[in-house]
A and B are shown apart, each in its own frame.
Chain A
């Protein structure tokens, strides 16, 4: 009996995730990619380590029968970083779609029979949901940036506002 598609995904986990990380890192300039790959200390290389660790967790999560929303905890750190880097919105989240091509390449999908195609379709739908989740997170990060700008301006002038409110009270009291 032929192995199921999900079984193959499990067996090829390390190979697929390695290629996925490689793909994600290739969106950076070569010098940066080299650094993100080589430096293993998570405190000296948060970007590379977040990508490596979280993509593995996401992949494992995609193999489980849980909803992609449950992967939020692992998708957030990746998208949060890319939301403030030199990426357009599409470039920031496209790394998740990239998994489809990698899976096709590693599992040599052209030889699949009908039942495997159905399983693959199921898996790819999960990737689609993952991408939508990533886009939601991306948007919330960008909105956060704007919120932070407003909050900072307010914090910086609190005492000035207090002074003018006080002045107004004095003026009103005197008139």
Chain B
């Protein structure tokens, strides 16, 4: 008993004051809930990625390779030579602070190292020390520091607390893409064998099987059949979904979240109903059954390999062009990296809607069209019949999913569709939507359950804006065009704004879609009674 501290001593040892030291001297504390689990070494090995090994964030020794400093130096130097943008981003920042308060993680947590400028300094301080004369001479006075194992731990902690949403980049007067700094940070860590399993396992599954969750072709077909059963029950129409059909005009690729996770499943049913109704000559592939690209969250090499699969399948199946579903980062990869990474896709044709004749010149190099562009075009040409009153029980607001919205500019199309498929739509405050949209807090491979506490912090600004329209207008539905959003936002809503459901745009499209030969619908896609059919 004598070893137990006395209450007085215990009370005096509790310190509520945050540390005042210089940021370089504060080490991150790895508490459960604030970090994602490490990648399984066997998966790293099977992918042929470097330095697979067992390690844990909470251990003192991360078992880094013997020459880890040399690996970091060489990787950094290589990327600086390869990407002119990285060199510019390292040199050009004047630390004006315009980005400092723009990150949802900083806004939600108050952790200064989540200020994008400081998160970039984590990398930049090493750059200064190793690659600039100024930093070599002035050292810490010049913002430089020595590379130590603690720096590696800090990189892991903070680069895996950035969702690469690019909201901060929007405000940078120099146009520094802070998400790309995070990507480089993760890429260097990847060379040391440091990455997270929620990213590595999907990469492995997608590369070896065809989708993030590792669903084999026969199971994929089974799942699609379940959806067709549900659609038949609701509409009375039996839909056949073409799989691996050679010679189809269009290859449709969507994130696997749309067919294995609720509420994405309803969005997926929406796609199938729409394609059936317009008689689209399309196919899905069981080998490229994944729009998402978790490679983006790990390394350039992983991103390239996964992206190449989609185009290899398009070539094998002999389609003319590719239609992409409501995915987030798939579009960042396609829009920003595909062309110089695996493109141009010369073997495909410039996408042209077989229904309306519209040529999508914006996709003439990647040959890939976003389904919201496609559907908005159908509506514009009156190619589908819609009854928005079927969604009258839904009071809707729209979350601009970071990657297709901010990175790709898909701002009007989702709204155009929504205004035709529902009668009650309200915008969130303007500083939280469109280009300035707040991330769900779970992007870039952080939508795992072990990271839940951190996700709730990061998602606070988004949820706070939803709460406003929920309280003011009675909004009960939050739409989005990203599978990670559809997986993560329901949880976020449940914590911050109970009573708001999450839906993809095409779930609402399909509810409103009047199909030829359909029976009188009694329920929506979720099996709930339609407005007026409650009795």
Give the size range of B's interface with the partner. Answer: 35 or more
CA distance A91 to B449 in the complex (A): 24
Knowing A148-B494, A151-B494 touch, does A28 contact B223 (C-beta < 8 A)? no
Q: Which of B20, B259, B449 contacts A153 (CB 8 A)?
A: B449
- Mask, B84-122, CB within 8 Å of A = 1, is 000000000000000011000011111110010000000
- B461 lies within 8 A of A27 (CB): no
- B110 lies within 8 A of A43 (CB): no
- Mask, B491-520, CB within 8 Å of A = 1, is 100111000000000000000000000000
Q: Which of B17, B19, B431, B454 contacts A41 (CB 8 A)?
A: B431
Q: Which of B110, B219, B461 contacts A29 (CB 8 A)?
A: B110
- In the assembled complex, the CB of A12 is this many whole angstroms from the nearest CB of chain B, namely 24
Does A84 sit within 8 A of B, measured CB to CB? yes
- A155 lies within 8 A of B261 (CB): yes
CA distance A32 to B20 in the complex (A): 12
- Mask, A131-175, CB within 8 Å of B = 1, is 000000000010011001101110111111011001100000000
Q: Which of A45, A145, A152, A162 contacts B107 (CB 8 A)?
A: A45
Knowing A43-B468, A163-B226 touch, does A155 contact B262 (C-beta < 8 A)? yes
> In chain B, what residue has the closest Cβ to A145?
B452
Residues of A with C-beta under 8 A to B260: 156-160
> In chain B, what residue has the closest Cβ to A25?
B110
- B456 lies within 8 A of A43 (CB): no
Interface of A is mostly: helix
Does A115 sit within 8 A of B, measured CB to CB? no
Does B453 sit within 8 A of A, measured CB to CB? yes
Knowing A85-B457, A157-B260 touch, does A31 contact B115 (C-beta < 8 A)? yes
- B431 lies within 8 A of A43 (CB): yes
- In the assembled complex, the CB of B254 is this many whole angstroms from the nearest CB of chain A, namely 14
Does B196 sit within 8 A of A, measured CB to CB? no
CA distance A153 to B447 in the complex (A): 11
Residues of A with C-beta under 8 A to B213: 160
- A29 lies within 8 A of B449 (CB): no
Residues of B with C-beta under 8 A to A158: 260-262, 265
Does A65 sit within 8 A of B, measured CB to CB? no
- A163 lies within 8 A of B223 (CB): yes
Residues of B with C-beta under 8 A to A163: 219, 222-223, 226
Residues of B with C-beta under 8 A to A80: 495-496
- In the assembled complex, the CB of A112 is this many whole angstroms from the nearest CB of chain B, namely 26
- A29 lies within 8 A of B19 (CB): yes
- B491 lies within 8 A of A151 (CB): yes
- A149 lies within 8 A of B487 (CB): no
Does A39 sit within 8 A of B, measured CB to CB? yes
Does A26 sit within 8 A of B, measured CB to CB? yes
Scan residues 1-43 of chain B and give those whose CB is less than 8 A from a CB of chain A.
14, 16-20, 29, 31, 33-34
Q: Which of A32, A90, A148, A160 contacts B106 (CB 8 A)?
A: A32
Interface of B is mostly: helix
- In the assembled complex, the CB of A120 is this many whole angstroms from the nearest CB of chain B, namely 22
Q: Which of A31, A43, A91, A151 contacts B461 (CB 8 A)?
A: A43
- B460 lies within 8 A of A47 (CB): yes
- A149 lies within 8 A of B449 (CB): yes
Knowing A32-B110, A85-B110 touch, does A155 contact B429 (C-beta < 8 A)? no
- A84 lies within 8 A of B457 (CB): yes
Does A86 sit within 8 A of B, measured CB to CB? yes
Scan residues 247-271 of chain B and give those whose CB is less than 8 A from a CB of chain A.
259-263, 265
Scan residues 71-108 of chain A and give those whose CB is less than 8 A from a CB of chain B.
80-81, 84-86, 90-91, 94
- B222 lies within 8 A of A166 (CB): yes
- In the assembled complex, the CB of A45 is this many whole angstroms from the nearest CB of chain B, namely 7
The winner among A42, A47, A81, A86 for most chain B CB atoms within 10 A is A86
Given A29-B111, A43-B431, A46-B108, 16 new contacts (CB under 8 A): A30-B20, A44-B431, A45-B107, A46-B461, A84-B454, A84-B457, A86-B34, A86-B109, A91-B14, A91-B16, A148-B491, A148-B494, A152-B449, A159-B260, A162-B223, A163-B222
- Give 28 A-B contacts (CB < 8 Å), ordered by A residue: A26-B17, A30-B20, A31-B112, A32-B109, A32-B112, A36-B110, A43-B431, A43-B432, A43-B461, A46-B464, A47-B110, A80-B495, A85-B108, A86-B110, A94-B16, A145-B456, A149-B449, A152-B490, A152-B491, A155-B261, A155-B262, A155-B263, A155-B490, A159-B259, A160-B213, A160-B215, A163-B222, A166-B226
Chain A positions within 8 Å of B, measured between CB atoms, are 26-33, 35-36, 39, 41-47, 80-81, 84-86, 90-91, 94, 141, 144-145, 148-149, 151-153, 155-160, 162-163, 166-167
